[in-house]
Amino acid sequence: MGEYANVAKIFGENVFNDTVMQERLPKKVYAKLKNVIKEGGELDLETADVIAHEMKEWAIEKGATHFTHWFQPLTGFTAEKHDSFITAPMPNGKVLMSFSGKELIKGESDASSFPSGGLRATFEARGYTAWDCTSPAFVRQDAAGATLCIPTAFCSYTGEALDQKTPLLRSMEAINKQALRLVRLFGNTTSNKVTPSVGAEQEYFMVDAEKFKKRKDLIYTARTLFGSMPAKGQEMDDHYFGVIRQRIAAFMKDANIELWKLGVSAKTQHNEVAPAQHELAPIYAEANVAADHNQIIMQTLKTVASRHGMKCLLHEKPFAGVNGSGKHNNWSLTTDDGINLLDPGKRPHENIQFLLTLSCIIKAVDIHAGLLRESASDPGNDHRLGANEAPPAIISIFLGEQLEDVVEQFVAKGNATHSLKGGTLDTGVKSIAGVSKDATDRNRTSPFAFTGNKFEFRMVGSRDSIAESTVVLNTIAAEAFDEACNELEKAEDFEQAVHDLVQRNFIEHRRVIFNGNGYAEEWIAEAERRGLPNITCMVDAVPELTRDINVNMFEKYGVFSKTELLSRQEVKYENYSKTINIEARAMVNIAAKQIIPAVISYTKTLADAVIAVKAAGVDLVSVQEELLRNISLELVEAQKALKELNRLGEEALKVPEGEARARYYHDMVTPAMANLRAPIDRLETMVDKNVWPMPSYGDLMFEV
């Protein structure tokens, strides 16, 4: 604990980054690799052999004994298969440590144990992992020792994507191509590449590991399935507050050090709205690297938490009635010479390239609102979106006063003559005079908010991969840019044409702009009047993947084939059904084997007390008797709900797999889960705390 980290010294020390490559690779090899990183293409085996050798030598110096192709299958987590560097023992009894170019570039893995949505049958189980040299390899040090991790894409034998990375890389190519066309229109000849930048803010909860172990629901489903809210006011307890801070602070310090070593620029951290909830934000990076880094962050938070006797909960909704966790996707477009296409500059109304870019993104989000919503859907996020804490389930765009005013000027007259200014902040304190204000206030309720020089997509769930929403943002923007360029490249009067197009985009798609309170009841009705989709659950969102406009777009820009989309759809339905099935079974088990028996023993204590009171000659209805009666009534209700949930759980398995079964789980099983939870949560407030068989919400959240 006593040691302090020298960030500059340790940052990236376990990453095979550009500095290391320059140091260790022969000049020619380095140049070849850099070229592939920049332009794409294939590395010849000879070059790959040299890189692999140097990578291995470097990794061994860091203590690595194994290497792994590190990939992101559709489970939402990362997967890896460890191979040791050891080759066959030599005659002298020693072993050689080797790692070939072939092993670096390509891996073969049994794809049948990962979700594929019918893309391959188990008898054709071959899957390949392929090195993504645009995301640096790293050495991870943990209880398993040190492992060289090589970021890879994961595809089927026939080349279909089975992972998150492949479509992300494809979508980055698509947006690069179209965004370059767009900047060329404005006379830019210096930029050679446009890359989406992503900063993924990660929210999470921390609970004590010993308490976690006493909650079967957390163990099996990563969220609590029962639990009544603690008394209000407990959160104000300064003593608890102090204790939490020290323990969490020590954890954060260690997590930061681990992340810095892995080249992840963990920058800000703070407490979140809910007790025991925290957030970690890295500095933004290229989308692809940012997606890998977010996976590293999630893994690191978990392993470091364990070392500190805690558990890191990444689930979107670990506790009902308490704010859930999200992952904000901060997204922008940057050229290789450092221009941010979403930077409005000081005079946005005159920045026509920015306004075109903005109008295209507004159009893209309006047209593909359902798809964007889908990209943030997973079973856990169903508890968040639209529940007045996270953004609503309706996609809308917050622009802020200044830009909305520019849009309105354009709508009215095809150009804008001024931009609203921020002015100066008046604190009423003379000595703090002169703090300049942003031209726009923040809006916390918007799912897609313009925040100065980037958009912040706030729907993504805390556990989800950031890749999915990024793929959608990249592709829908690419399509809108493409359509704009097709029109403008052949315009005779470019100035006029671009103004007309910006005006038209604003007029046709301004319905998606909303600066008001997204949590208000009226917004739902207003959005409906505007014709904006309100997709309230995952099962309703998934069909967006295979709607014609989305399939056509993904195929056109080479991001997904229709087959891949169909398979992803299957994977999602399956994932939903499995998740609810596990939750329902866990509920039945916990209620039947832990809670109901505990309450029954308690009723025996009460019954004895009732007899004792009667024996003492008290003629009134005693407290004991009243309690016994009420608890018994709740028990009856709980038992009834339990049987019904059990029955529906069995029925669900008879429904054909896919959409039908997922819908059955959503429509029939989840309400039955709520029906079981209600009496049990009431019982928790009625029985002696000492007989309740698991830690309460209060214990979990306030006594970390």
Residues 4-33 that bind ligand ADP (CB under 6 A): none
Nearer Cβ to ligand ADP, position 134 or 195?
Answer: 195
Site for Mg ion in 93-112 (CB under 5 A): none
75 binds ligand ADP (CB under 6 A): no
* Residue 281 beta carbon to Mg ion: minimum distance, rounded to whole angstroms: 7
Find out whether 420 and 515 touch, Cβ atoms under 8 Å.
no
Q: Rounded to whole angstroms, how far apart are CA atoms 574 and 291?
A: 24
- Looking at the Cβ atoms of 300 and 451, the one nearer to ligand ADP is 451
> Considering CB distances under 5 to 8 angstroms, the limit depending on partner class, which of ligand ADP, Mg ion, none binds residue 152?
none
Dihedral of the CA atoms 535, 537, 543, 545 (nearest 10)?
Answer: 80
Binders of ligand ADP in range 482-511 (CB under 6 A): none
CB of 260 to Mg ion, least distance (A): 21
Q: Which stretch binds ligand ADP (CB under 6 A): 6-14, 87-95, 278-286, 534-542?
A: 278-286
As measured in angstroms, the least distance from the Cβ of 285 to ligand ADP is: 8
CB 405 within 8 A of CB 417: no
284 binds, among Mg ion, ligand ADP, none (CB under 5 to 8 A by kind): ligand ADP
Long-range contacts made by residues 484-490, C-beta under 8 angstroms, separation at least 24? 484/182, 484/356, 484/360, 485/178, 485/181, 485/182, 485/185, 488/185, 489/181, 489/185
**Which residue from 153, 179, 281, 407 is in contact with ligand ADP, where contact means CB under 6 A?**
281
CB of 391 to Mg ion, least distance (A): 12
- Considering only residues 295 through 334, tell me which ones interact with ligand ADP, judged by CB under 6 A: 330-332
Q: Report the residue number whose CB is nearest to ligand ADP.
A: 199
- Candidates 283, 525, 600, 611: give the one binding ligand ADP (CB under 6 A): 283
Looking at residues 399 to 458 of the shown chain, list those that interact with ligand ADP (rule: CB under 6 A). Answer: 451, 453-454
| In the complex, least distance from residue 60 CB atom to ligand ADP, rounded to whole angstroms | 34
Q: Does 386 bind ligand ADP (CB under 6 A)?
A: no
Hey, what are 589's tokens?
């088990």
Footprint of ligand ADP on 452-481 (CB under 6 A): 453-454
Measured from the CB atom, the residue of 444 and 647 that comes closer to Mg ion is 444
Closer residue to ligand ADP, CB minimum distance, 158 or 268: 268
* Pattern 321-360, Mg ion, x by CB under 5 A: -------x--------------------------------
- Cα 704 to its chain centre, rounded Å, is 24
Among 115, 227, 263, 282, binds ligand ADP (CB under 6 A): 282
Q: How far is the CB of 438 from ligand ADP (least distance, A)?
A: 10
Within 8 A by CB and 6+ apart from 205, the residues are: 274, 276, 277, 278, 312, 313, 315, 318, 319, 325, 701
- Calculated CA dihedral for residues 244, 379, 474, 394, nearest 10 degrees: -90
The torsion angles phi and psi of 416, rounded to 5 degrees, stand at -135, 140
How far apart are the C-alpha atoms of 263 and 276, rounded to whole Å? 27
Length of the chain measured in residues:
704
**Closest-approach residue to Mg ion (CB):** 328
User: Is there binding between residue 199 and ligand ADP (CB under 6 A)?
Assistant: yes
Q: Could you write out the DSSP letters of every residue in 452-503?
A: SSSEEE---BTTS-HHHHHHHHHHHHHHHHHHHHHHHHT-SSHHHHHHHHHH
For residue 85, count other CB atoms closer than 10 A to its CB.
18
Q: Which is nearer to ligand ADP, 456 or 583 (CB)?
A: 456
**Binding-site partner at residue 453 among Mg ion, ligand ADP, none, CB < 5 to 8 Å by type:** ligand ADP
Please say which residue, 28 or 267, places its beta carbon nearer to ligand ADP. Answer: 267
Number of residues that bind ligand ADP (CB under 6 A): 16
Least CB distance to Mg ion at residue 384 (A): 16
Buried b (16+ CB within 10 A) or exposed e, 37-73: beeeeebeeebbbbbbbbbbebbbebebbbbbbbbbb
Query: Residue count at the site for Mg ion (CB under 5 A)?
Result: 1
Please state the closest distance from residue 335 (CB atom) to ligand ADP, in A: 12
Residue 446's binding partner, choosing from Mg ion, ligand ADP, none, with beta-carbon cut-off 5 to 8 A by kind?
none
Minimum gap (Å) between residue 262 Cβ and ligand ADP:
16
Question: Contact region for ligand ADP (CB under 6 A) — 66-74, 80-88, 147-155, 196-204?
Answer: 196-204
CA nearest neighbour of 667 among 588, 592, 577, 591: 577
Q: Which is nearer to ligand ADP, 257 or 297 (CB)?
A: 297
Indicate the residue among 389 and 583 with the shorter CB distance to Mg ion: 389
Contact call for residues 151 and 55 (beta carbons, < 8 A) = no
Question: Helix crossing, 494-509 with 401-413: angle to 10°?
Answer: 110
Shortest CB 597 distance to ligand ADP, Å: 48
Nearest distance from C-beta of residue 304 to ligand ADP, angstroms: 20
Residue 590 in tokens = 């916990």
Beta bridge partners of 281: 268
Question: What is the greatest pairwise CA distance in the chain?
Answer: 102
CA distance 322 to 696: 14
Please say whether the dihedral angle defined by the alpha carbons of residues 374, 380, 383 and 388, taken in this order, is positive or negative: negative
CA distances from 302 to 4, 154, 309 (A): 22, 24, 11
CB of 449 to Mg ion, least distance (A): 9
Q: What is the DSSP letter of 117?
A: T
Task: Write out the binding residues for ligand ADP, residues 329-368 only, by CB under 6 A.
Answer: 330-332, 340
Q: For the CB of residue 342, give the shortest distance to ligand ADP in the complex, in Å.
A: 7
Give the residue among 375, 380, 668, 666 at the shortest CA–CA distance from 541.
375
Using CB under 6 A as the criterion, which residues of the chain lie in contact with ligand ADP when the complex forms?
197-199, 201, 268, 281-284, 330-332, 340, 451, 453-454
Using CB under 5 A as the criterion, which residues of the chain lie in contact with Mg ion when the complex forms?
328
